[in-house]
Structure 1
Amino acid sequence: MRAPGPELQPLVERLSRRLPGVAVIAYDGSRSGPAEAATTMAIRTPAAFAKVLRAPRGLGLARAWVAGDIEISGDMAPVAARETELHDPAVAVTLLATALRVTARRGFRDLVTAGATASEYRAARPGRHTVGRDRAELDFHYGLTADFYRLLLGPSMTYSGAMFDGPGHSLEAAQECKHARIAGKLALGEHSTVLDIGCGWGSFLDHANTVHGSRGIGFTASRQQCEYASRRFSGRPGVRIRYGDYRRLLPLSGITAAAGVGMYEHVGERHSPAFFALVRRSLRPGARFLNQAITRREAGPRRLRANAFAQRYVFPNGQLLPLSRQLADLDRAGFRVLSTESFGEGYARTTGAWLGNLERNWDACVAAAGLERARAWRAYLAGSRRRFEDGTIDVTQVLAEAR
């Protein structure tokens, strides 16, 4: 009679069938998939299963990955491309049954430490967008050191989708192309005063000031960004950086054009009408406003509306809204929409470039952000790139004129 194989072999085989081209291995010697695979998923410790039991709807797997109980080596793209397969009922049943069996045999002692990890953001009441809550969430997301973001984003320190002209276009050139496109749509010049709401580290304002001679005012609710951008424009009287929430700083006078680039995702659905109304009150009739934001399909997957992994580890309380909602709220606020331009394929290349930066600078990124946060960002960027590639999410520049 042949001796039974390793305990985790059935689970490993089911996972490898759902992840073509990926080798799946486990700590008990189980193995399935190509021998020379470019990507390997490894279940490294029994503690991974306790995390699945504590949070069986996907968050447990994310915690196991962040904690290092599950490891993905090589190219993450094959796993990101088939991530939904891991939630297939047949896989989920096998995973839960194995998790219960392994954890029970260990006396359930792993459950004690299987909850939230140290790097996890835990909101008391998710979904609310108060000034205080948003400040805490922004501090979590942008509070990593400028060194980490410089390694991740590259020299321009631009944290939004770039516009690529061709296959050989570098990330830095594509970000400059995006800034030039925005400045052109806003018709910036030497007599312009442009407001950048959510200015980040100041890259667009730098372009507007140095290339077009425009004056600028930047808002950011991140202390880290405010300090960095203030140093960037030290000695340049034409650009001012202000720290605070847009609800406390708007409306403003003397503005001839305004932009929000990658900021709208922090506003929230409930506050979208009020946000656009405040921007409108800062502009004279005929002045232009450009809003660049990630959008989701009108009837897209519910998991995009409340992605537990992204909410806990990278982007707490971030919301992606359909383009139709943005257009309706702009209209109600007193704007006339002039144009829309979507370029999700550009954001796919952008997130791919950021992922490449992270992986090439892995040790330095870990030193700057900690191992758990670096692992979370690796998975987040791989998943984001895939969703832009398959059209699940998109990014759009909406140009509007104050009526």
Structure 2
Amino acid sequence: MSTRYTIGEAIETLMQGGMPLRFTAYDGSSAGPPDAEHHLELLNERGLSYIMTAPGDLGLARAYVAGDLVLSGPGSHPGNPYEAFSLMMKHTHFRRPSPAELVSIVRSLGISNLKPPAPPPQEHLPRWRRLVEGLRHSETRDAEAIHHHYDVSNEFYEMVLGPSMTYTCAVFPTADATLEEAQANKYDLIARKLDLQPGQRLLDLGCGWGGMVRHAAREYGVHALGVTLSREQATWAQQAIKEEGLDHLAEVRFMDYRHVEETGFDAISSIGLTEHIGVKNYPSYFGWIKDHLKPQGRLLNHCITRYDNKPRNTGAFIDRYVFPDGELIGSGTIITEVQDAGLEVQHEENIRVHYAKTLEGWSKNLEANWDACVAEVGEGTARVWGLYMVGSRIGFERNEIQLHHVLATKTDESGASGYPLRHDFGV
């Protein structure tokens, strides 16, 4: 005679390491510690179908984004569910049941729940569908991937990112520095690493809302050009440049970097773009950068990385909801590709703990502006961001992902790099 399972029993049986929170379901069943501070509640049959048809992080994420799975307890605000999600991070993968267990669980919970509901509208196409419909990292597909993530709403980004409108890792000069101070410090550190001087020409690839472009023009008197595949970013940046009176020095274009015709730049910054171009495209990317630098020019590549150099796919939630076609690899691979492109690596550093602090700040902003953010983009999208940012924060804290700066020069034919005897950009 086969075993009969309630929803709670099935979840506790399948979840690797057990249920760390108190779980309750609409059938009246429960699992996990009765006295747990944090509570996870499955509200309806659709949520169960999401979990049964995509076991693991994707099914749980679908149910959570749709509002069918609800967290409660201290530190479980949907804009910043850090405390609750910290407990769940190692428990989102289900173990593979035996055939007999699987049959019993499906019969107990209902075969009809194996018909997958439509995913939440925030979900992008699966990887295989994207491969069928367009060559990965073609200009058209890259533009669509960038649009999916970055053209959400400038107003939403203003509330989450803060006044700097900077969506990359900050560098905190002190532990108690504000997020705005840390973002300004990051731009200045990059400017110093690039040794920017008045009258020089800077190209910022994947410039976002123009933070680096405006900082270089305003603080260093540099002629700065930024390019982005996000029309919303370009529009916002162009207006900010006008409002700051930087039109004579700064420019942001809505275009693919591959169509930049100018060359001979003194410096090129790539701040958060390498993650989007694909590891197989590194040779052409860094080769393109070399071709567009003047002799003794500098490159600063700022990029999220893995803790090792073993290729692997991005998790299903990140791939479907956050960064379609995004790819990460270790800093060793990036350094190798920079060198193989003919650039000389001068300095490298890992600032992953700074990204954990940056994400903490963004999560607090989302929590503080939750109602306005939901009104702007809808609760489902706001839930995606709350989940994604705390998950990323935990990943940086636990050294599952890192953030590396790689500084390189285009050494000229005589072997001169223009680099000083010792680094002179300070701490």
TM-score (norm 2): 0.85
2:260 to 249, 262, 267: 249
Match of 1:89 among 90, 95, 101: 95
1:210 deviates by 1.5
Number of the residue aligned with 1:323: 331
Asked if 1:240 corresponds to 2:251, the answer is yes
| SS across alignment from 1:84 | coil
TM-superposed CA distance for 1:175, in Å, is 0.8
What's the offset of the Cα at 1:12?
Answer: 5.7
Counterpart-to-counterpart distance in 1, 2:219 and 2:18: 51
Q: Secondary structure at the match of 1:359?
A: helix
Check 1:38–1:329 CA distance in 2 against 1; reply closer, same or farther (3 A cut).
Answer: same
Among candidates 70, 85, 102, match of residue 109 of structure 2:
102
Alpha-carbon separation, structure 2, partners of 1:344 and 1:396? 7
Distance in 2 (alpha carbons) for counterparts of 1:16 and 1:229: 46
Distance 2:168 2:123 in 1: 23
Tell me which amino acid in the other structure corresponds to 1:372: G
Partner of 1:198: 206
In the alignment, residue 118 of structure 1 is paired with which amino acid?
P
Is 1:79 the counterpart of 2:85 in the alignment? yes
Q: Distance in 1 between matches of 2:275 and 2:231?
A: 19
- Shift of the 301–389 alpha-carbon distance from structure 1 to 2, 3 Å rule, reads farther
Cross-structure match for 2:157: 149
Shift of 1:182: 0.4
Structure-2 residue corresponding to 1:264: 274
Q: Which residue of 2 aligns with 1:369?
A: 377
CA distance in 2, matches of 1:162, 1:392: 18
Report the Cα offset of residue 86 of structure 1: 2.7
Matches within 5 A, 1:35-74: 37-73=36-72, 74=76
8 Å contact kept, 1:53–1:96? no
| TM-score, normalised with respect to structure 1 | 0.89
Output the CA distance in 2 between the equivalents of 1:148 and 1:249: 29
Q: 1:312 aligns with which of 315, 320, 329?
A: 320
Report which stretch shifted further, 384-393 or 25-34.
25-34
Contact 1:52–1:99 (Cα < 8 Å) also in 2: no
Alignment of 1:253-402 (within 5 A): 253-298=263-308, 302=312, 305-402=313-410
Give 1:80 deviation, angstroms: 3.7
- Is contact 1:54–1:115 with CA below 8 Å preserved after alignment? no
Equivalent-residue separation in structure 2 for 1:173 and 1:100 (angstroms)? 57
Deviations 1:340-384 (A, max 9, x none): 011101101111211111122111111222221111111111111
Q: Retained in 1: the 8 A contact 2:197–2:220?
A: yes
Alignment of 1:21-40 (within 5 A): 22-33=21-32, 37-40=36-39
CA distance in 1, matches of 2:288, 2:311: 31
Mapped partners of 2:65, 2:275: distance in 1: 24
Partners of 1:401 and 1:42 in 2: CA distance? 54
- In structure 1, what is the equivalent of residue 425 of structure 2? none
Match of 1:120 in 2: 123
Contact kept, 8 Å, 2:311 with 2:329, in 1: the verdict is: no
Matched-pair contact (CA < 8 Å) for 2:309–2:333: no
**Could you tell me whether the CA contact under 8 Å between 2:55 and 2:93 is conserved in 1?**
no
Contact 1:18 1:82 in 2 (8 A): no
Distance of 1:244 and 1:313 partners within structure 2: 24
Give unpaired runs (5+ residues) of structure 2. Answer: 412-427
Query: SS of the residue aligned with 2:130?
Result: coil
1:248-283 Cα shifts (integer Å, max 9, x gaps): 225x22421110111111111121110111111111
Taking structure 1 as reference, are residues 33 and 375 closer, same or farther at Cα in structure 2, changes over 3 Å only? same
Q: Distance in 2 between matches of 1:49 and 1:256?
A: 56
Percent of aligned pairs with the same amino acid: 35
Tell me, yes or no, if structure 1 residue 230 matches structure 2 residue 241. no
Measured after TM superposition, the shift of residue 96 of structure 1 is: 8.8
Aligned to 1:293, the other structure's residue is in SS state strand
| Count of aligned positions | 392
Deviations 1:163-190 (A, max 9, x none): 1122211111111111111011011121
Q: State the alpha-carbon separation in 2 of the partners of residues 23 and 92 from structure 1.
A: 25
Kept in 2, the 8 Å contact 1:46–1:102? The answer is no
User: How far apart, CA to CA, are the structure 2 residues paired with 1:238 and 1:26?
Assistant: 59
1:242 Cα deviation (Å)?
Answer: 1.3
Q: Deviations along 1:273-299, whole A, 9 cap, x unmatched?
A: 101111111111111110000001335
| Of 139, 143, 159, the match for 1:135 | 143
Amino acid at match of 1:27: Y
* Cα pair distance change 1:33/1:397, threshold 3 Å: same
Q: Contact 2:159–2:369 (CA<8 Å) still a contact in 1?
A: yes
How well do the aligned residues superpose, as a CA RMSD in angstroms?
Answer: 2.6
8 A Cα contact 1:129 1:268, kept in partner? yes
In 1: Cα distance, 2:85 partner to 2:98 partner: 16
> Residue type matched to 1:197 in 2?
L
Where 1:260 maps in the other structure, the secondary structure is: strand
Q: Deviations over 1:47-96 (max 9, x none)?
A: 22212333235322221111111112324334345423231417899899
Amino acid across the alignment from 2:255: G
